[in-house]
Amino acid sequence: MKVMIVTGLSGAGKTIALHALEDKGYFTMDNTLCRIAIFLLQNIEKGETELNIDKLALGIDNRAISSDKEFALLLQCLESIAVDYEILFLTASNKTILNRYSLTRRRHPFGASTLLKSIKEERKAMTNVREKSTFILDTSEMSAKDLASMIGEMGSINKKQQISIHIRSFGFKYGVPMDTDLVFDARMLPNPFYIEELREKTGKDKEVSDYVMKFKESKELYSKILDMIKFLLPLYIKDSKHHLTIGIGCSGGQHRSVTFVNKLSEDLDYNKVGKIYVSHREEENNHWK
């Protein structure tokens, strides 16, 4: 059985994620009490319960977890019956969650004196769960459709993977993405935007990537970034880090950063690293001309 635990901040998209996983063949259980999940898993381990489900998605939020020890016990139970599992933690900016609650007019489950205080207290309370997560996904700038599509890509589980890496391009003029562990700047490289025949193309096009990578400084910068990531990965894995987000930015997030991101995804060894997920923020936000 494969298990995906979907958790995170209220208003960050848990329901959408569970629906997307359901479309991928997962049996989904939302608002699952952690202690009930533990009880079920313990019975499976003892042979007292047989669960004929290949893929299971558990929606577990802060209300369902009484303590960090309880959540740790849940993971221990999953490991004791040799279940392949991953933890997807959904987050978003305070402003985004405020806007979403304003639109739906729903009450925040944390129930503090103000909505903003509820969001901040929940974020703090979920710190330990977040640190144990395989994927951390910031949905601040995602539509429901984009989130569902991304969750579909994450629906496969590989127990052997050591760390999951999300590499994304972005444009500095639209702001640096949140929840990025490593940020690299490619704005000092020659810009294809000023080449008329390349302006409307992107780093996905061979003509653009060939132009970007033909310069000595581009090759040297890329080599140093790749070397740094390869140096850091074993250290992150040794430190039990499950998820790494790498951001590479240029001015508009269309040419140079896209080239570097795509090349990194090809040059990092999948068998040694684990799952690699690539995204281009400005493409998703329709900023590409």
Is residue 250 one of the residues assigned to a domain? yes
- CATH of residue 47: 3.40.50.300
Closest by alpha carbon to 192, among 184, 182, 181, 202?
202
pLDDT at 81 (0 to 100): 84
For the record, the structure tokens of 93 come out as 């900016």
158 is a domain residue: no
Give the angle 4-64-16 at the CA atoms, nearest 5°.
50
How far, CA to CA in Å, does 23 sit from each of 19, 142, 153, 189?
A: 6, 19, 12, 42
Q: Are residues 135 and 177 in the same domain?
A: no
Q: Is the pLDDT of residue 160 over 60?
A: no
Residue 233 lies in a domain: yes
One domain for residues 119 and 207:
no
Q: How confident is the model at residue 157 (pLDDT cuts 50, 70, 90)?
A: very low
Question: Domain check: are 121 and 188 in the same one?
Answer: no
Token reading at 182: 């490593």
Q: Are 182 and 249 in contact (CB under 8 A)?
A: no
The answer on pLDDT for 142 being more than 90 is: no
- What is the residue-wise DSSP string for 44-63? HHHTS-----SEEEEE--GG
In this structure, the answer to whether residues 147 and 28 fall within a common structural domain is yes
Dihedral (C-alpha) 184, 138, 236, 276: value to the nearest 10 degrees? -80
Residues 6 and 147 in one domain: yes
The count of structural domains within the chain is 2
Q: Are residues 82 and 101 in the same domain?
A: yes
Q: Are residues 247 and 132 in the same domain?
A: no
Contact at 8 Å (CB) between 167 and 278? yes
pLDDT tens, position by position, 56-81? 999 998 888 988 899 999 999 988 88
Q: Are residues 138 and 175 in the same domain?
A: no
Percent of the chain scoring above 70 in pLDDT: 94
**Residues 170, 48: Cα–Cα separation, whole Å:** 51
Q: Among positive and negative, which fits the CA dihedral 61, 12, 158, 226?
A: negative
For residue 156, is pLDDT > 70? no
For the chain, what is the radius of gyration of the CA atoms? Answer: 21
**Spatial CA neighbour of 288 closest among 189, 181, 208:** 208
Cα 162 → chain centroid = 15
Domain that holds residue 241: 164-284
| One domain, residues 27 and 133 | yes
Q: Average pLDDT over the chain, rounded to whole?
A: 88
Residue 159 lies inside a defined structural domain of this protein: no
Q: 140 and 32, same structural domain?
A: yes
Boundary-marking domain end, from 153, 181, 197: 153
Q: Are residues 188 and 119 in the same domain?
A: no
Whether the per-residue pLDDT at 145 is higher than 90: the answer is no
Asked if residue 46 belongs to a domain, the reply is yes
Q: What is the pLDDT of residue 162?
A: 65
- Indicate whether 225 pLDDT > 60: yes
Distance CA 274, CA 159 (A): 9
| 69 Cβ contact list (under 8 Å, min separation 6) | none
**C-alpha–C-alpha distance, residues 263 and 253, integer Å:** 15
Region 2-13 average pLDDT: 93
Q: Quote the pLDDT of residue 252.
A: 96
- Lowest-confidence range among 41-55, 76-90, 168-182? 41-55
pLDDT tens digit sequence for 78-88: 888 888 888 99
Residue 129 lies in a domain: yes
Q: Is residue 171 part of a domain?
A: yes
* pLDDT at residue 159 greater than cutoff 50: no
Q: Is 119 a member of any domain?
A: yes
Measured on CA atoms in the order 30, 33, 35, 39, is the torsion positive or negative?
Answer: negative
Residue 161 has pLDDT above 60, yes or no: no
Q: 5 — alpha (psi -120 to 50), left (phi > 0) or beta?
A: beta
Residues 8 and 100 reside in one and the same domain? yes
pLDDT digit string (tens) for 95-105?
999 999 988 77
pLDDT (0 to 100) of residue 178: 79
Burial class (CB in 10 A: 0-12, 13-18, 19+), 27: middle
